[in-house]
Amino acid sequence: MPREETQKKSVMNCAKADTSKNYSNSLPGDLLSDLQEAFNFYDREETGLISMPHFRNILHNFGFHRLGKREIDADLIKCDQEFMKRNCVDFNFCKHAVAYRWAAKGGRDDEAKECFKVFDKKERGVVSLLELRTMLNEYISTSLNDDDVREFMREIDPNNNGHIASKDFIKLYLS
pLDDT reported for residue 88: 92
**Quick one: 28 exposed, middle or buried, by C-beta within 10 A (0-12, 13-18, 19+)?**
exposed
75 & 92 share domain: yes
Whole-number average pLDDT of the chain: 79
20 & 83 share domain: yes
pLDDT reported for residue 44: 93
For residue 65, pLDDT over 50 is answered with: yes
74 & 145 share domain: no
101 & 122 share domain: no
- Which one is predicted more confidently, 103 or 134? 134
Instruction: Kindly state the percentage of the chain with pLDDT values over 70.
Output: 84
- CB-CB neighbours of 31 under 10 Å: 19
35 & 68 share domain: yes
76 & 147 share domain: no
CATH code of the domain containing 53: 1.10.238
pLDDT reported for residue 8: 47
Q: Which residues contact 166 (CB under 8 A, 6 or more apart)?
A: 113, 116, 120, 125, 126
Using CA atoms, how far residue 38 sits from 43, 55, 150, in Å, is 9, 9, 38
For residue 5, pLDDT over 60 is answered with: no
Q: Which residues contact 58 (CB under 8 A, 6 or more apart)?
A: 35, 38, 39, 42, 50, 94, 98
pLDDT in tens, 40-57: 999 999 999 999 999 999
pLDDT reported for residue 105: 57
Last residue of a domain, one of 105, 121, 139: 105
pTM: 0.60
pLDDT in tens, 137-157: 787 777 777 788 778 777 777
In this structure, what DSSP letter does residue 162 have?
S
99 & 148 share domain: no
Q: Which residues contact 117 (CB under 8 A, 6 or more apart)?
A: 123
142 & 168 share domain: yes
What is the Cα–Cα distance from 105 to 72, expressed in whole angstroms? 11
What is the Cα–Cα distance from 97 to 103, expressed in whole angstroms? 10
Q: Per-residue pLDDT averaged across 97-109, rounded?
A: 74
Structural domains of the chain, count: 2
pLDDT in tens, 68-82: 889 889 888 888 888
| Phi, psi angle pair for 65, to nearest 5° | -65, -20
119 & 61 share domain: no
pLDDT reported for residue 55: 92
What is the Cα–Cα distance from 30 to 113, expressed in whole angstroms? 18
What is the Cα–Cα distance from 22 to 3, expressed in whole angstroms? 33
List residues bridging with 128 in a β-sheet.
Answer: 163
Instruction: Kindly state the percentage of the chain with pLDDT values over 90.
Output: 18
pLDDT reported for residue 97: 87
What is the Cα–Cα distance from 55 to 47, expressed in whole angstroms? 14
Which structural domain range is residue 90 located in?
3-105
pLDDT reported for residue 71: 87
